[in-house]
Amino acid sequence: MARQTVFYGAVISPETLSEYQAYPHSLLCVNTSGNINWIVEDVVDSAVQDLLSQYGALEADFIELKHGEFIMPGFVDTHTHAPQVPNIGSGQQHELLDWLAQYTFPMEARFSDVGFARRAYESVVRRIIDCGTTTCCYYGTLHLESTKVLADIVHAYGQRAFVGKCNMDRHAPDNYVEPSADASLAATHALIAHIRALPSPLVQPVITPRFAISCTPPLLGALGALARADQSLLIQTHLSENASEVTFTRSLFSECTSYTDVYDHYGLLGPRTVLAHAVYLDDAEVALIKARDAGVSHCPTSNFNLSSGICKVGAMLDKGIKVGLGTDVSGGFSTSILTAIQHASIASKALAFHSPAPAEATFAGRQLPLSALLHLATLGGAQVCGLQDRVGSLAPGKAFDALLVSVRADAGNPGLWGADLDRELCTGDGARGGLDAMLERFFFTGDDRNVRRVYVQGRWIGGAEERR
Ligand SMILES: O=c1[nH]c(=O)c2nc[nH]c2[nH]1
Ligand SMILES: [Zn+2]
């Protein structure tokens, strides 16, 4: 941003799993570095000029939000596969291992063609940004050059992201497998060097062993050693998604006490590890994840779609485990975290049908409240990828990674027209001025039409409204 920008209007931001801030009339100032400078809540119109003067912001760009619009933190997608976006909506009658073999590996293999990868990734990244994802953990394919292209595109489009070259040296088709652990490691190093040479630090590399089945013990060991040697690297992988996968993994690693223990054994389980799915865990595995302070990416759309199962998120939250949301395309059929929010809510309700809440539980066995859904989609995701001090909520000193959301009729989403017509709903009673109702409607009936603007580090990078 060349100048400071001040937004005047409704601001929503998570605080804890049980509470969030919702102020209908805030002033929020973004400085020229794209960080939030200051926020003043509950500002009446007549006080705006005085406050701008007091803060030395009379020259700032001034954006006044309309009735039915609000600012909130951008979504954090803690797990998705960029090369699988072209496969969205196909092969969904299969469970994980058949789906990988019949649909996923053949599509990913096509990314050996760098030209194909460039065309695909340009549209994939644009689509994910326009859904409101300001930080994204991306799996690429096995291919070094194509994954460099993915990182370049993410960087050029201005999204905050982690980009990983998938590691896979066994149990894969001949045309889509790495020749050795050494080759896989060398390509991983080359991708890390490439990403770190990009002009801005918004894009970071991530160690990406596909899952234990796909990696030989020497490869897992080498990646664990890399993670130990470079403590700034994130690790992402899949854990315990599907019953057949768990059985196969246990047969491959009989020396380990559990699937989770495989990653721990090879030095891949720590505070910077993002574990996608975590559906079939026993108590000892949950305790191990907590002890290592690893984070879980809850991917409910994928878990329903591939008939995998339901992650017991509430129980993990009660234990203090970090949890965020993942779209997991194309196991999941939507690039939008809004869909993951909807399915996280349904998943919690489905669990509650069968296992009512224990007396001491806050979240286990209960439907997730709106506050927890907001937290999972933003600050929880930021915690999972170690970015909680930079993003995930709106506070002075943090980066302005944010969405300008509209639930107005002119956003063009017929599912939300009532929110505009019904001023009582949007205005509401009391200090929160109907913001709870607007947020709930956005989460459950909103889509990318309602994501009017997407900002990362103060830069307007996408959304439905045409950029200047
Ligand atoms: O949902 C998933 N998508 C994948 O691509 C994958 N690979 C291993 N395990 C996986 N699970
Ligand atoms: Zn996945």
Q: Which pLDDT tens digit goes with each residue over 333-352?
A: 999 999 999 999 999 999 99
d(CA 340, CA 300): 6
CA–centroid distance, residue 332 to ligand 2 (Å) = 9
Name, in order, each residue with C-beta under 8 angstroms of 360's C-beta and a sequence gap of 6 or more: none
Tell me if 238 CB under 6 Å of ligand 1.
yes
Give the mutation target among 80, 88, 211 for probing the ligand 1 site: most ligand atoms within 8 A of CB: 211
Tell me if 172 CB under 6 Å of ligand 1.
no
Structure tokens given for 48: 């705006």
Q: Please report the pLDDT score of residue 358 as a whole number.
A: 87
Q: What is the distance in angstroms between the CA of the first residue and the CA of the last residue of the chain?
A: 13
d(CA 194, CA 171): 28
Tell me if 99 CB under 6 Å of ligand 1.
no
Q: Write out the E strands in 15-155.
A: 20-30, 36-40, 61-64, 69-73, 75-81, 133-139
Name, in order, each residue with C-beta under 8 angstroms of 323's C-beta and a sequence gap of 6 or more: 295, 296, 297, 298, 313, 316, 317, 376, 380, 384
**What's the 3-state SS for 201-226?**
CCEEEEEEECCHHHCCHHHHHHHHHH
| Residue 332 alpha carbon, nearest atom of ligand 1 | 1
- Taking a 5 Å cut-off on Cβ, the residues next to ion ligand 2 are 276, 328
- CA distances (Å), origin 325, targets 258, 328, 468: 24, 9, 31
Q: Please report the pLDDT score of residue 465 as a whole number.
A: 96
Tell me if 159 CB under 6 Å of ligand 1.
no
From the centroid of its chain, how far is CA 394? 17
Q: Please report the pLDDT score of residue 431 as a whole number.
A: 74
- Encode burial over 46-74: b for 16+ CB neighbours within 10 A, e otherwise: eebeebbeebebeebeebebebbbbbbbb
Alpha helices in 131-257 (DSSP H): 144-157, 181-196, 217-229, 243-252
Give the mutation target among 210, 213, 240, 275 for probing the ligand 1 site: most ligand atoms within 8 A of CB: 210
CB-count burial class (<10 Å; 0-12, 13-18, 19+) for 106 = middle
Task: Identify the residue whose C-alpha is closest to ligand 1 atom 7.
Answer: 210
Q: Please report the pLDDT score of residue 432 as a whole number.
A: 81
- CA distances (Å), origin 20, targets 318, 374, 376, 437: 18, 8, 12, 13
CA–centroid distance, residue 241 to ligand 2 (Å) = 9
Bridge-based pairing state of the strands 402-406 and 69-73: antiparallel
pTM of the entire structure? 0.98
Lookup result for tokens 């639930």 = 407
d(CA 131, CA 351): 28
Contact 391, 399 (CB under 8 A): yes
Nearest ligand for residue 331 CA: 1
d(CA 278, CA 309): 10
Please write the tens of the pLDDT for every residue from 383-437: 999 999 999 999 999 999 999 999 998 999 987 766 555 565 566 656 787 899 9
**DSSP secondary-structure letter at 468?**
-
- CA distances (Å), origin 109, targets 86, 131, 156, 260: 12, 26, 25, 28
HSE value, Cβ hemisphere, 13 Å, CA-based, for 83: 31
From the centroid of its chain, how far is CA 421? 32
Contact 305, 92 (CB under 8 A): yes
H or E element at residue 120: helix 114-130
Task: Identify the residue whose C-alpha is closest to ligand 1 atom 2.
Answer: 331
Residues lower than pLDDT 50 in the chain: 468
Tell me if 142 CB under 6 Å of ligand 1.
no
Tell me if 79 CB under 6 Å of ligand 1.
no
Give the helix, strand, coil percentages of the chain, each rounded to 5.
40, 20, 35
d(CA 4, CA 60): 5
Tell me if 211 CB under 6 Å of ligand 1.
yes
